[in-house]
């Protein structure tokens, strides 16, 4: 889960509107996945997804549920999870939602291309985020 209620979205003709639902939360989760994957390019897409699930902050009813899925995405916790466990674990077939399986039978997609070398191994990201009126759905670490 990510901020997904009344999120500003762009529309044609330089317009904006507030929308709610998974279409609003998905870009946030995808952004966290891309950020984490850039630090762990040897992981498969399924391993990144598993790390996102294992490190999500549970919301609502305990465990995976229809309102919050596995919980609130947390970039720092996902990074820490992969720093601890690395990419040397198997994951199940990706079925979506709360139906994650334990057995994996499909080959993962290729990892993203590594960043070009920067001085002193530094990496720079520019992230611009505009929060909505639901500050309790957004946390910073």
Q: Is the pLDDT of residue 37 over 90?
A: yes
Q: Is the pLDDT of residue 134 over 80?
A: no
The rounded distance, in Å, linking the Cα atoms of 23 and 25 is 6
Token output for 52: 């996102």
CA-closest candidate to residue 8, choices 23, 51, 141, 120: 23
**pTM reported for the whole predicted model:** 0.63
The string of pLDDT tens digits covering residues 59-105 is 888 888 777 888 889 999 999 999 999 998 888 776 667 766 333 33
More confidently predicted of 109 and 67: 67
Mean pLDDT, rounded, for 101-118: 48
CB 40 within 8 A of CB 95: no
More confidently predicted of 25 and 109: 25
């Amino acid at each position: 889960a990510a901020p997904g209620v009344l999120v500003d979205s762009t529309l044609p003709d330089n317009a904006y509107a507030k929308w709610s639902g998974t279409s609003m939360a998905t870009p946030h989760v995808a952004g966290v996945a891309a950020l984490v994957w850039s630090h762990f390019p040897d992981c498969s897409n399924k391993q990144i997804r598993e790390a996102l699930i294992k490190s999500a902050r549970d919301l609502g009813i305990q465990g995976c549920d229809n309102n919050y899925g596995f919980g609130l995405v947390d970039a720092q916790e996902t990074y820490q999870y992969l720093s601890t466990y690395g990419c040397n674990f198997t994951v199940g077939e990706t079925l979506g939602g709360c139906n994650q399986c334990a057995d994996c039978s499909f080959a993962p997609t290729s990892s993203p291309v590594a960043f070009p070398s920067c001085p002193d191994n530094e990496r720079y990201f520019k992230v611009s985020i505009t929060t909505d009126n639901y500050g309790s759905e957004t946390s910073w670490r």
